Amino acid sequence: MQQILVCEDEAAIRSFVVLNLRRAGYAVLEADSGEAALQLYAAQPTAAVALLDVMLPGIDGFEVCRRLRAADPTIGIVMLTARSQEPEKIEGLHCGADDYVTKPFGIGELLARIEALCRRVQILREKNGDGDRMQRGIFTLDFRAHTLSKNGKPVELTQMEYQIVAYLFSHAGEPQTREAILRCAWGESFVGDDKVVDVNIRRLRVKLEEDPSEPRHLLTVWGKGYQWED
């Protein structure tokens, strides 16, 4: 049974969605705030799809989206936006959401989108092995255990280094800006210089590259940022 994490602060909408998801055969975890959703996910990181309302009392749905995406590159994420305004959708794209549904929505449309996304997630997780791991070349990322191994040998990483690798892994082959890496690895609330990304990349190269001065995996893309290559 596929599990859906539903995060919506309006009780009437939440119970309506949850009821319909259960009727459609899904297991459902419900949260009334972003913080509660992240706690539920941390305790039981098994959801195929997260349905996140954007407007929430504490941290907003975009922030929840970024943190879930950093923790699990394969989870499907649908944002519930209150308006059909473009800026919200664009911000959603940058935080790693897969799809959007604008309120008010038809339950049939929402279920169809969730079903389509569940199928994509299942295919992606099967391709990646047991669903907990992502293999890229000689590297394997285990995003449940938060570990990385190279040629089957574990690499000691700090939490920050792990978050950066997990983010770049899930966007392999595409340059990522320092700002995007910061936001996804540390969250919206991070205050500091984006030079911290450079410092962590240097340390990662020492740990991961054969020759850190000639990186083959953690590439610098001039004028853009960093990119993972297998």
Closest CA to 204 of 161, 170, 172, 150: 161
What are the beta bridge partners of residue 141?
134, 148
Rounded CA separation 9/2 (Å) = 23
- Does 209 participate in binding Ca ion (rule CB under 5 A)? no
Nearer to Ca ion, 6 or 181 (CB): 6
User: Smallest distance from the beta carbon of 80 to Ca ion, in angstroms?
Assistant: 8
Token pair in block for residue 76: 């499907």
User: Smallest distance from the beta carbon of 106 to Ca ion, in angstroms?
Assistant: 18
> Quick one: angle between helices 159-170 and 178-186, nearest 10?
120
The span of 6-14, 103-111, 184-192, 208-216 binding Ca ion (CB under 5 A) equals 6-14
Name which of residues 157 to 196 contact Ca ion (CB under 5 A). none
CB 111 within 8 A of CB 23: no
Nearer to Ca ion, 54 or 218 (CB): 54
Nearer to Ca ion, 7 or 157 (CB): 7
| Main-chain phi, psi angles of 90, to 5 degrees | -65, -40
Name which of residues 24 to 53 contact Ca ion (CB under 5 A). 53
Draw the binding track, 82-111, toward Ca ion (x: CB under 5 A; -: no contact): ------------------------------
- Does 55 participate in binding Ca ion (rule CB under 5 A)? yes
- Does 9 participate in binding Ca ion (rule CB under 5 A)? yes
User: Smallest distance from the beta carbon of 58 to Ca ion, in angstroms?
Assistant: 11
Residues interacting with Ca ion, by CB under 5 A?
Answer: 9, 53, 55
